[in-house]
Structure 1
Amino acid sequence: MKILIVGAGRVGTSVAENLVSEHNDITVIDPEPSRLSDLQERFDLRGVVGDGSQVSAMERAGAEDADMIIACAASDAVNLVACKIARQVFNVPRRVARIRSSEIPAMPELLGENGFCVDALISPESSVTDYLTKLVEFPEALQVVDMAQGRVSVITMRVSLDGFMANHPLKDLRAMNPDVNAKVVDIMRLGRAITISPETILRPGDELLLIADTIHAHQAVHQMNRSKDQVRRVMIAGGGNIGARVARNLASEGYNVRLIEQSMERCEELATTLPGDVLVLHGNGTDESLLERENIEEMDTWMALTSDDEDNIMSSLMAKRMGAQRVIALINRQAYGELMQGSHIDIAISPSQATMSELLRYVRRGDIVGAHRLRGGLAEVLELVAHGDKKSSKVIGKRISDLDLPKGASIGAVVREHNIMISDPDVVIEPEDHVIVFVPSRDQVRQVEKLFQVSASFF
């Protein structure tokens, strides 16, 4: 796929890095030559110096035969204009814009064919906010994503020593609680994926991927890990866009939230715009005396959400040492995140991975309505729609157990109108079913896409 990326900032660089690794033809447009030089040294892509909102720059980038444009410059205006030019001048089929403003998504008339011709919006801040809110809702989890319009939850977590399923075979998950509609599709043990079967015994410390009917998600998680108490008190360091969004979301759900912000001007703004039950504190998250005064040891969750990786790491380490039950840090540099994940920092969040999960559904081929990166981007979970009939489709009319899936891949759920079918290999795929597929390696995604493609005879 030939993809144009407008903007070589933090988001654009991350998007380019992820997509070029999947053998796409990538061209990046940015006004700063130094940024493009760095990208071209690191990755197999082309850089074009220019303004992505100018026709001439688009022309030099080869927009006339591009399959997709992803406009993720720092300016909303540049991104919107770039999409409009891509559509009306060069007829680029797919157009995605990164938007910071919360007003634009609420005005769909601005985005359609009579507006800026945007097919889809992505918001890194919104993606990370949703990601963090889910982690507070599921304190046992390392990652939580929703699929099938929120009806199915995909949860990464570890088995605790006192979990009901610890030292029990997988088949006991349904036997111990037959009303829980859930399935384990993958297990990592000591850093390696293991082959699983109903007889596989879960060990404390195993990292597993659980797919569950959202209604039963909390019960299923509790079977694996019951060491966490319900979260009620949350302290956030950083009152930027993400910190403020998370504080607002959590306060609306009834959590006790304290927000630390270094800028007095920003503190005053937050105090007037956030709900009244959010306590806004002026200070720095690395200030030990401030954390002590605010009883950090009583906090169920600490979140470091500033724009500075080093500050987020240091404040999280300090909060953990001073007694915070669980610490979560926002870390932009991938190397830092991999180093800190699972150490004294319980969860390291990469904004780029959250953004990529939002983008994947538009980059993937076939009728994929949802896609999320797992295991730091190594694996994926896809939501595909089964189209066609028995003659034109390789999946319709077949049992799950008979599908030719790549090695290690598995179907976690089939969503059909009012039914969610999990952990049943005898389910037969029907037209318009939404199928949730776990793929352990990104290299195998194309095989799954081909499996669900409809033959030309159907049309």
Structure 2
Amino acid sequence: MKVIICGAGQVGWQIARHLSGELNDVTVVDNNPDLVRRATDTLDVQGIAGFASYPDVLDRAGARDADMIIAATYSDEVNMVTCQVAHSVFAINRKIARLRSQSYLDAIYSDLYRRDHLPIDVVISPEREVAAAAMQRLSAPAAFDTETFMGGKAQLLGIKLDDDCPIVNTPLRQLTDLFSTLRVIVVGVRREGTLFAPESSDQLFVGDECYVFTHVDDLARTMEVFGKTQKKQERVVIVGGGNVGLTVAETLERRTNRIRAKVIEKSRKCAERAAEALERTIVLNGDGLDSGLLAEAGIARADAMLAVTDDDKTNMLTAVRAKAEGCPMAIALINDPTLVPLMVPLGIDAYINPRATTVSSILRHIRHGRVREVYSIGDAEAEVIEAVVLSTSPMAGQKLRDIDFPEGVLVGAVMKGEDVVRPTGALKIEEGDVVAIFAMADDVPEVERLMQVSIDFF
């Protein structure tokens, strides 16, 4: 597949890394020559320096025979015009644009993106993706990572094992015998910084970071088995009232189980905008690092604190201060991946990586086969792919034990009709089943083959 990626920042580079690693023909376009050079030096991609919305630049990038264009520059308007030029001049079939401004995303203006207006096939909103990720973190506060699959019926959890975990030093195959009714599968383990797909004979040790698939009905029991206690979230303090913080607060207001939220925003203009948009949420204007203001927001009585300003260091320091003031759960928004190793030493419970959430969202619309969901794990080390099994798939009609999966691939869940079942060796995969597969990055192409890759899907 020939793909043009416009924008060589963090998201564009990461998408290029994924696609070029799977032997796609990738060209990166950016008006910053240094970013283009970084991409061409570190990845197997071609690079063009220039403005992505210019027809001659796209022509040099190979737009005349491209299958897809991904517009992920820092400018919404450039991304929109790029898709328009790709459609009108070069007839590129698949166009994905990243749009940040909430005005462009309002549902009442959705007709704007029709083919006869602005021909964008998929619109990605980083702020909405990040807000959704924040809500996921709040739903499972004892997990450091979480994502839902199977239409909300299955959940991927990242759980760090502590000393009091009851299943430490237990071979994974014994977990099935010990908890026969529990629909849970350990699909990935990070040990001493290295992520791998475990075998049934592997044991879990203190300090391991496990990625676990579970049925949502078994969520509380799964956390208990892994030594974690779930506390009901009733009071939340949000530091940062920009697009992300505002979206989270609005989502909390719409929930049926009432959660009392307070927002702290440094900018008076943003604070006033948030106060006008929110009905039941108290908005405080001031610095989230101010201990007096945190006390006024009730941080000591809060069940969780979300730091979602546009500054990583502010988010980290606010989270540390909130913990010091007695808040049991602190979540920080972190754009710079090099800061992530500081989370544990600083005592920050969980983080949200906007790049990873945006990359996952874009990959969902790139993957071949009947892909319904893609979630990128770690620094693009692995992916969880949810897809419908087609009649032409090599998996169709076979039992799981007979399917030739690579070593770095594990099936986390299978949905037959409306029922999510635990995958066992004797389970027969049939056409129309939905499978969620954990795959190390090097094994993703083989998973796509099993899903019967075909460019005809586009």
TM-score, with structure 2 as normaliser: 0.88
Alignment of structure 1 residues 380-459 onto 2, 5 Å:
380-388=383-391, 392-439=392-439, 441-453=440-452
Alignment of structure 1 residues 37-52 onto 2, 5 Å:
37=37, 39-40=39-40, 43-52=43-52
Alignment partner, residue 290 of structure 1? 293
- Tell me how far apart the structure 2 counterparts of residues 198 and 353 of structure 1 sit (CA, whole Å): 29
Alignment partner, residue 377 of structure 2? 374
- Tell me how far apart the structure 1 counterparts of residues 196 and 4 of structure 2 sit (CA, whole Å): 39
- Tell me how far apart the structure 1 counterparts of residues 139 and 454 of structure 2 sit (CA, whole Å): 42
1:158-183 alpha-carbon deviations (Å, 9 max, x no partner): 23444554565545655565543222
Shift in Å, 1:400? 0.4
- Tell me how far apart the structure 1 counterparts of residues 220 and 195 of structure 2 sit (CA, whole Å): 24
Q: Which residues of structure 2 form unaligned runs of 5+?
A: none
TM-score, with structure 1 as normaliser: 0.88
Contact 1:138 1:218 in 2 (8 A): no
Alignment partner, residue 212 of structure 2? 210
Q: Which residues of structure 1 form unaligned runs of 5+?
A: none
- Tell me how far apart the structure 2 counterparts of residues 123 and 363 of structure 1 sit (CA, whole Å): 16
Contact 2:236 2:261 in 1 (8 A): yes
Contact 1:15 1:352 in 2 (8 A): no
Alignment partner, residue 100 of structure 2? 100
Q: Give me the identity figure in percent.
A: 33
User: How many residues were matched structurally?
Assistant: 451
Contact 1:70 1:96 in 2 (8 A): yes
CA pair 252-168 structure 1, distance change in 2 beyond 3 A: farther
Q: Which amino acid aligns with 1:156?
A: G
Query: Does residue 306 of structure 2 align to residue 306 of structure 1?
Result: no
Query: Does residue 157 of structure 2 align to residue 158 of structure 1?
Result: no
- Tell me how far apart the structure 1 counterparts of residues 183 and 342 of structure 2 sit (CA, whole Å): 35
- Tell me how far apart the structure 2 counterparts of residues 44 and 176 of structure 1 sit (CA, whole Å): 47
1:239 corresponds, among 227, 232, 241, to: 241
Q: Which amino acid aligns with 1:90?
A: F
- Tell me how far apart the structure 2 counterparts of residues 410 and 18 of structure 1 sit (CA, whole Å): 20
SS at structure 2 position matched to 1:149: helix
Query: Does residue 249 of structure 2 align to residue 250 of structure 1?
Result: no
- Tell me how far apart the structure 2 counterparts of residues 454 and 129 of structure 1 sit (CA, whole Å): 32
Alignment of structure 1 residues 262-301 onto 2, 5 Å:
262-276=266-280, 278-301=281-304
1:344-402 alpha-carbon deviations (Å, 9 max, x no partner): 222232211111111112332333222111134211111122212xxx54211110011
1:139 corresponds, among 132, 138, 141, to: 141
- Tell me how far apart the structure 2 counterparts of residues 113 and 43 of structure 1 sit (CA, whole Å): 33
CA pair 42-159 structure 1, distance change in 2 beyond 3 A: closer
Contact 2:15 2:363 in 1 (8 A): no
Q: Which amino acid aligns with 2:401?
A: S
SS at structure 2 position matched to 1:85: helix
1:98-119 alpha-carbon deviations (Å, 9 max, x no partner): 1224454624433233332222
Alignment partner, residue 73 of structure 1? 73
RMSD: 2.8
Shift in Å, 1:134? 0.7
CA pair 289-197 structure 1, distance change in 2 beyond 3 A: same
- Tell me how far apart the structure 2 counterparts of residues 455 and 52 of structure 1 sit (CA, whole Å): 28
Alignment partner, residue 7 of structure 1? 7
SS at structure 2 position matched to 1:146: strand
Q: Which moved more, 1:92-101 or 1:13-22?
A: 13-22
SS at structure 1 position matched to 2:146: strand
Shift in Å, 1:449? 1.1
- Tell me how far apart the structure 1 counterparts of residues 59 and 293 of structure 2 sit (CA, whole Å): 54
Shift in Å, 1:201? 4.9
- Tell me how far apart the structure 2 counterparts of residues 40 and 202 of structure 1 sit (CA, whole Å): 40
Contact 2:96 2:123 in 1 (8 A): yes
Q: Which moved more, 1:255-264 or 1:77-86?
A: 77-86
1:397-433 alpha-carbon deviations (Å, 9 max, x no partner): 1100111001031112221212222132211111121
Alignment partner, residue 349 of structure 1? 352
Q: Which moved more, 1:197-206 or 1:411-420?
A: 197-206
Contact 1:393 1:455 in 2 (8 A): no
- Tell me how far apart the structure 2 counterparts of residues 13 and 438 of structure 1 sit (CA, whole Å): 23
Shift in Å, 1:92? 1.7
Query: Does residue 219 of structure 2 align to residue 220 of structure 1?
Result: no
Q: Which moved more, 1:115-124 or 1:219-228?
A: 219-228
CA pair 226-347 structure 1, distance change in 2 beyond 3 A: closer
1:291-348 alpha-carbon deviations (Å, 9 max, x no partner): 2444433332222211112212222222223322122111111111234356422223
- Tell me how far apart the structure 1 counterparts of residues 355 and 395 of structure 2 sit (CA, whole Å): 33
Shift in Å, 1:129? 0.9
- Tell me how far apart the structure 2 counterparts of residues 141 and 429 of structure 1 sit (CA, whole Å): 30
- Tell me how far apart the structure 2 counterparts of residues 49 and 117 of structure 1 sit (CA, whole Å): 24
- Tell me how far apart the structure 2 counterparts of residues 306 and 359 of structure 1 sit (CA, whole Å): 23
Q: Which amino acid aligns with 2:133?
A: Y
Shift in Å, 1:21? 4.9
1:130 corresponds, among 129, 132, 138, to: 132
Q: Which moved more, 1:81-90 or 1:119-128?
A: 81-90
Shift in Å, 1:144? 1.2
